[in-house]
Amino acid sequence: MDRFSQILYDLGKEVGTDLYPDENRICQLNYKEELTIQITYDESKERLLFVTFVCEVPAGKYRETLFKGALKSNGMLPQLSILAYTGRNNQLTQFAYFPASEHSMEKLFTFLKGFIDKASAWKDAIENGRTLPSETGPKGSDGAMFGLKP
């Protein structure tokens, strides 16, 4: 079993589902039918790349507010992930790297939880036209990873 497959296997045990790379060396997991997270492995830099399309970006004044909020979020430290815009499908995206050398399941699980919390908070705020979230994620999040599916 190669390094990426081993990491996915271990993470899958942690979240209670089978995770494995497809023929393109990408693992997709769905979180509560709300987010699809793609995980790939950059062998040359020994790091995992996590990417998700958060949601469509609405037109109008709110779009400007959203982009300013995303830039502010990107400048906050410590930086969990980066928010970006893709014009191809008019989506706010989120991505982050995780060093494979820190292949402790506790660290990876905590990282994944934070990644999902941030994307979920932004998605919820944007889809409901509310003030953009802070970096702490949604209030009252219990940290449960239920709803993850390959």
Per-domain residue ranges for the chain? Answer: 3-149
d(CA 74, CA 62): 18
How far, in Å, are 102, 111, 112, 121, 146 from residue 106 at the CA level? 10, 9, 10, 22, 16
By CB neighbour count within 10 A (0-12 exposed, 13-18 middle, 19+ buried), where does 5 fall? Answer: middle
What distances in angstroms separate CA 83 from CA 15, 20, 66, 94, one per listed residue? Answer: 25, 26, 10, 4
At residue 23, φ and ψ (nearest 5 deg) are: -65, -20
| In the predicted structure, residue 103 carries a pLDDT above the cut 70 | no
Choose the weakest-confidence range: 6-10, 17-21, 103-107, 122-126.
103-107
pLDDT band per the 50, 70, 90 thresholds, residue 57: very high
- pTM of the predicted structure, to 2 decimals: 0.84
Task: Tell me if 150 sits within 8 A of 21, measured CB to CB.
Answer: no
- C-alpha span between 43 and 50 (Å, rounded): 14
CATH 3.30.1460.10 is right for the domain spanning 3-149: yes
Model pLDDT for residues 112-140, shown as the tens digit of each residue: 999 999 999 999 999 998 888 865 444 43
Scan for tokens 């790939």, then name that residue: 40
Average pLDDT of the chain is 87
Mark residue 131 as left, alpha or beta (left: phi above 0; alpha: psi -120 to 50; beta: remaining).
beta
